[in-house]
């Protein structure tokens, strides 16, 4: 049985190497009954196109950012709530408790996932130092095309962004058509966006993660035993990718500083006001049914416990 | 069965069935034999809505049709004669620069030919150049400028390379692209001077007063490059914005200021323009499906595995690269080609000791020529349609120029020092 | 010309006019929306979220409406190498054959895009602003259906032959 898997990560990248490696391990363990083909670099299209192709069976799975699957599983967005986390310790505490719940949520929505894979914190990077919310809001901020959740967050914050494809962002930064982006450090470096921004606001704007998601009906083609091998290997691999992303992003963050990006710290009052506004934006997302109140509240309880021990 | 159907497709192509039906039929046949649900065809066509840049195509085309329906060409010729009439081949140089600039903004999608073609071809003919030369020049120049910043192909190449942990600075790519791009422009200009040496193209002595008079005459049209450059450099606008503003501006200028186009004629011009755009976009859409078929069958990887196994000298590799990329440029979309092919050939090229910056320039330069490589280069079809000429006439008009540019590409390929001179 | 044929021609002409009007309307809306967005962004510091995704959808609409008109006027881009050497009865035969082939391919595409839209409806795929995607996608089966009919008609009655 062949599993055709698409991903936005390009060939030659460490992520692809890991995916190919796990593919070979599974092939060996199932004595060739299960093989993998990877379609890197986003050649199969954006998240929606990929899901359509999975629906018709041209593809069987994807390594994709969680937002793309939000249509099938709304609550997957809960970890993306703006300014939810202050640092990675909080992330680790929350994920220790909620990873199994979210993973089961994906499975109940028809996607076989094997654990959450970190994408990192997305930070606001700007041309002028953004020391308060008003400055940040008045920037010409880039919004990726075909990304409903980012759009909803922008709406909730009442910002008017400029919608562009990823490939046009560097040019737009160069000409000044946009002057602010929200991106994980790794993205800022590989896509060269850092070269056209000067400042990074040290408030993790959004936590991002991805999943290796296989279509339920594709997995059901396998025998019980093969399904177990698949699950064991992909779970281990997701863990590896998760750890890899964490260290890559930490390295990239430090690299940004040495590449001349100034890290802007928010004074406590501004930070509090910013978090306040983010909480209100999250309320709007909950009201419009994007995230379930109960689940969000449970996460807030965990966060409160860490913040006020 | 498959063989018979493939034969039928080939026959249909030869007897002149619409190009989009051939590509669509080919993709359908391929997916059907791979056992993939043909619903993939509309899914791929729908991917036309993924890209914000595509909006520029209808908008610039509409502007171009409006300009070609008005007396812009006359004014443009008089102005360029006043400005560069003293220089042999002045109009050729102007056409080349205009096309390069426009392609730089819009990519090689054929907008250049559609939008500027109907302006530059009459202008060139009026200046005294032959019809064949004029059409050949514009078709060839429809992808000129892909090597100039901020053309997306070089950026995309840089990003793909970096993702593979190959250090490629995008600025360096831009700088390295400059000499090859200008070499191409200059050699076509030189070819123009030589091939048109028997035509009577009088030199016009330079006169400031005439220049100012002609500049005043076409002052509104001179606003167009101002909008484009100003919008781009000031950072007010992105390309799709620039296209929309240009369309609106040209509409107002030609209908209400010069009054060259009547309000009543607008629906006809708009329909004509969109008929053209529709044809091109539909081909782009079904080409997406065909590219997806090749990707699904892992064709590129298979080809390059073979190359890796069978070619061992650096020169032979470069030659194969040239030929392969030309062919790919003719059948694949340049962006798809970059994403699919670069990860395959970059490691191989590094093994042969080729500089990654140099490879990027070779790659895009070959793709650029692929656009008008017979028999299937996309820009040939677009030009054939735009100028209402049989495709065979386009082959004849562009082939000499293709060889001129091919020579430049060989120089670029085998003389890396020249390309990398500015970078080092 | 019988009454039925006259009526058919009237319907055909009316449909053709509708197509052209739609084409012009889509183009002008696209310009209008884009310019509105620029003004909002640069003068009023705000923007409308639906404009960019809608305009990208309109590109698809333009593509298909434009292709429909091009089909009616038999002006599609093609490799007309052989057609260049044919004339008279031979040319007429070529037109019939190519039109029949095109009708076949378009028919196939009509069927599969109809299935596509049907599944999008069932699965409630959303597009921008949480609107359902399928009504915007209807242009695909509709456009290809019209093209199928036009190519089929041209195969049966090759009305005029484009001079090469
Ligand atoms: Na172009
Ligand atoms: Na191409």
The pLDDT score that the predictor gives to residue A171 is: 75
Q: Residue B301: how many CB atoms within 10 A of its CB?
A: 16
Among A88-97, A189-198, B51-60, B154-163, top mean pLDDT goes to: A88-97
The region of weakest confidence among B212-216, B369-373, C73-77, C118-122 is C73-77
The larger pLDDT score, comparing residue B214 to residue B38, is at: B38
Average pLDDT over residues B300-328: 80
Surrounding ion ligand 1 within 5 Å at CB are B 103, 106, 111-112
The pLDDT score that the predictor gives to residue B110 is: 74
pLDDT grade, residue B214 (50/70/90)? confident
Average pLDDT over residues B350-364: 89
- Residue C163 belongs to a domain: no
Number of domains in chain B: 1
* Percent over 70 (pLDDT), chain C: 89
- Residue B144 belongs to a domain: yes
Q: How many CA atoms lie within 13 A of B44 on its CB side?
A: 29
3-state SS, residue B37: coil
User: What is the extent of the structural domain holding C99?
Assistant: 2-156
Task: Determine which of C38, C46, C47, C59 to mutate to test the interface with A (most A C-beta atoms within 10 Å).
Answer: C47
Cα B40 from Cα B44, distance rounded (Å)? 6
Residues B91 and B84: beta-carbon distance below 8 Å: yes
- Residue C164 belongs to a domain: no
- Residue B240 belongs to a domain: yes
- Residue B33 belongs to a domain: no
Task: Provide the number of CB pairs (under 8 Å) joining chain A to chain C.
Answer: 27
CA torsion angle B227 B115 B271 C57 (round to 10)? -70
What does the pLDDT look like over B4-36, one tens digit per residue?
888 888 888 777 788 889 889 999 999 999 999
- Residue B262 belongs to a domain: yes
Does the pLDDT at position C22 exceed 90? yes
Does the pLDDT at position A128 exceed 70? yes
What's the token pair of residue A283?
């309320």
> Is C23's CB within 8 Å of B13's CB?
no
- Residue C10 belongs to a domain: yes
The pLDDT score that the predictor gives to residue B150 is: 60
* Percent over 90 (pLDDT), chain A: 61
Q: Does C46 touch chain A (CB under 8 A)?
A: yes
Expressed in percent and rounded to 5, the helix, strand and coil fractions of chain A are 55, 20, 25
What does the pLDDT look like over A144-167, one tens digit per residue?
877 777 888 888 888 878 877 777
- List of chain B residues whose C-beta atoms are within 8 Å of the C-beta of residue A151: none
The pLDDT score that the predictor gives to residue C84 is: 60
Mean pLDDT of chain A: 90
pLDDT grade, residue B296 (50/70/90)? confident
> Is B278's CB within 8 Å of C64's CB?
yes
- Residue C16 belongs to a domain: yes
* Percent over 90 (pLDDT), chain B: 23
- Residue C132 belongs to a domain: yes
pLDDT grade, residue A239 (50/70/90)? very high
The region of weakest confidence among A70-79, A184-193, B403-412 is A184-193
The pLDDT score that the predictor gives to residue B232 is: 67
Average pLDDT over residues A75-80: 92
Q: Residue B375: how many CB atoms within 10 A of its CB?
A: 13
The larger pLDDT score, comparing residue A65 to residue B110, is at: A65
Average pLDDT over residues B115-135: 87
The region of weakest confidence among B77-91, B120-134, B268-282 is B77-91
CB interface of C with B, residues 51-110, below 8 Å: 52-53, 55-57, 59-60, 62-71, 73, 75-84, 94, 97-98, 101-102, 104-106, 108-109
pLDDT grade, residue A84 (50/70/90)? very high
Q: What is the ipTM of this complex?
A: 0.89
Cα A103 from Cα A86, distance rounded (Å)? 23
What does the pLDDT look like over C32-56, one tens digit per residue?
999 998 888 778 777 788 888 899 9
The larger pLDDT score, comparing residue A309 to residue A73, is at: A73
Average pLDDT over residues B91-116: 78
The pLDDT score that the predictor gives to residue C164 is: 31
> Is A138's CB within 8 Å of C53's CB?
no
3-state SS, residue B352: coil
CA B413 to chain centre: 20
pLDDT grade, residue B106 (50/70/90)? low
- Residue C58 belongs to a domain: yes
Number of domains in chain C: 1
DSSP string, B190-255: HHHHHHTTTS--------HHHHHHHHHHTHHHHHHHHHHHHHHHHTS--HHHHHHHHHHHHHHIII
User: What is the extent of the structural domain holding B367?
Assistant: 39-420
The pLDDT score that the predictor gives to residue B107 is: 61
- Residue C131 belongs to a domain: yes
The pLDDT score that the predictor gives to residue B151 is: 65
pLDDT grade, residue B164 (50/70/90)? low
What pTM was computed for the model?
0.83
Cα A248 from Cα A245, distance rounded (Å)? 5
- Residue C162 belongs to a domain: no
Give burial (CB, 10 Å; 0-12/13-18/19+) of A260: exposed
Residues B144 and B100: beta-carbon distance below 8 Å: yes
User: Which helix (H) or strand (E) segment is B272 a member of?
Assistant: helix B266-296
């Amino acid at each position: 049985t062949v599993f055709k898997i698409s991903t936005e990560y390009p060939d030659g990248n460490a992520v692809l190497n890991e995916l190919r490696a796990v593919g070979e391990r599974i092939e060996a363990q199932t004595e060739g009954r299960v093989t993998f083909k990877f379609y890197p670099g986003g050649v199969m299209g954006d998240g929606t196109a990929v899901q359509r192709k999975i629906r018709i069976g041209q593809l069987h799975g994807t390594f994709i950012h969680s937002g793309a699957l939000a249509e099938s599983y709304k609550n997957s967005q809960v970890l993306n709530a703006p300014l939810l986390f202050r640092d990675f310790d909080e992330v680790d505490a929350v994920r220790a408790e909620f990873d199994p719940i979210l993973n089961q949520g994906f499975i109940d929505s028809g996607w076989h996932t094997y654990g959450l894979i970190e994408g990192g914190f997305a930070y606001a990077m700007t041309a002028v130092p953004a020391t308060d919310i008003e400055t940040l809001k008045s920037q010409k901020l880039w919004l990726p095309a075909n990304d409903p959740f980012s759009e909803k967050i922008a709406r909730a914050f009442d910002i008017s962004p400029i919608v562009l494809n990823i490939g046009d962002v560097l040019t737009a930064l160069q000409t000044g058509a946009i002057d602010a982006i929200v991106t994980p450090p790794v993205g800022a470096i590989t896509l060269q966006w850092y070269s056209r921004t000067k400042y990074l606001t040290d408030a993790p704007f959004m936590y991002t993660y991805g999943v290796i998601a296989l279509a339920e009906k594709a997995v059901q083609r396998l025998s019980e035993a093969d399904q177990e091998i698949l699950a064991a290997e992909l779970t281990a691999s997701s863990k590896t990718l998760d750890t890899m992303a964490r260290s890559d992003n930490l390295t990239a963050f430090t690299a940004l500083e040495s590449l001349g990006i100034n890290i802007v710290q928010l004074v406590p009052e501004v930070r509090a006001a910013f978090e306040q506004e983010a909480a209100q934006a999250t309320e709007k997302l909950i009201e419009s049914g994007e995230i379930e109140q109960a689940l969000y509240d449970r996460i807030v309880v965990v966060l409160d416990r860490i913040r006020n021990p | 069965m498959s063989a018979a159907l493939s034969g039928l497709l080939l026959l249909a192509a030869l007897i002149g069935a619409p190009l989009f039906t051939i590509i669509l039929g080919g993709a359908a046949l391929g997916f059907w034999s791979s056992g993939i649900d043909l619903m993939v065809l509309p899914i791929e066509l729908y991917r036309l809505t993924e890209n914000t840049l595509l909006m520029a195509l209808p908008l610039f085309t509409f502007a171009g049709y409006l300009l070609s329906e008005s007396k812009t060409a006359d004014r443009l010729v008089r102005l360029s004669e006043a400005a560069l009439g003293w220089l042999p081949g002045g109009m050729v140089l102007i056409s080349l620069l205009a096309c390069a600039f426009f392609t730089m903004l819009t990519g090689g999608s054929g907008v250049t030919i559609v939008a500027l073609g109907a302006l530059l071809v009459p202008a060139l003919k009026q200046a005294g150049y032959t019809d064949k030369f004029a059409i050949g020049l514009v078709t060839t120049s429809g992808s000129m400028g892909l090597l100039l910043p901020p053309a997306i192909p070089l950026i995309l190449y840089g990003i793909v390379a970096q993702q593979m942990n190959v250090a490629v600075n995008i600025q360096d790519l831009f700088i390295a692209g400059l000499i090859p791009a200008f070499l191409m422009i200059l050699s076509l200009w030189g070819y123009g001077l030589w091939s048109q040496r028997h035509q009577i193209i009088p030199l016009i002595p330079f006169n400031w007063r005439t220049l100012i008079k002609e500049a005043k005459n076409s002052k509104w049209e001179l606003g167009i490059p101002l909008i484009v450059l100003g919008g781009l450099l000031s950072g007010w606008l992105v390309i799709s914005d620039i296209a929309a503003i240009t369309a609106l501006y040209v509409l107002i200028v030609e209908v209400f200021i010069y009054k060259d186009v009547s309000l009543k004629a607008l629906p006809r011009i708009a329909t004509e323009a969109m008929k053209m755009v529709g044809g091109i976009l539909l081909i782009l859409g079904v080409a997406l499906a065909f590219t997806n078929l090749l990707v699904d069958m892992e064709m590129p990887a298979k080809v390059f595995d073979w190359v890796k196994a069978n070619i061992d000298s650096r020169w032979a590799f470069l030659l194969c690269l040239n030929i392969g990329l030309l062919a790919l440029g003719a059948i694949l979309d340049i962006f798809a080609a970059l994403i699919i092919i670069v990860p395959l050939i970059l490691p191989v090229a590094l093994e042969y000791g080729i500089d990654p910056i140099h490879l990027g320039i070779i790659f895009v330069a070959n793709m650029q020529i692929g656009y008008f490589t017979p028999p299937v280069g996309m820009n040939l079809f677009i030009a054939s349609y735009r100028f209402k000429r049989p495709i065979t006439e386009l082959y004849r008009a562009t082939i000499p120029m293709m060889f001129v540019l091919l020579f430049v590409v060989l120089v670029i390929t085998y003389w890396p020092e020249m390309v990398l001179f500015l970078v080092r | 010309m019988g009454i039925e044929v006259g009526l058919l021609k009237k319907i055909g002409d009316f449909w053709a006019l509708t197509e052209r009007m739609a084409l012009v309307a889509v183009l002008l809306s696209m310009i209008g929306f884009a310019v509105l967005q620029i003004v909002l962004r640069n003068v009023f510091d705000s923007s409308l979220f639906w404009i960019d995704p809608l305009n990208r959808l309109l590109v698809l609409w333009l593509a298909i409406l434009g292709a429909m008109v091009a089909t009616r006027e038999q002006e599609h881009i093609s490799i007309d190498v052989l057609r260049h050497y044919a004339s008279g009865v031979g040319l007429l035969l070529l037109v019939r054959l190519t039109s029949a082939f095109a009708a076949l391919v378009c028919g196939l595409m009509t069927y599969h895009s109809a299935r596509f839209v049907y599944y999008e409806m069932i699965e409630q795929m959303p597009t921008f602003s949480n609107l359902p995607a399928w009504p915007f996608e209807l242009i695909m089966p509709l456009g290809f259906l019209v093209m199928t009919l036009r190519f089929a008609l041209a195969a049966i009655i090759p009305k005029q032959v484009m001079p090469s």
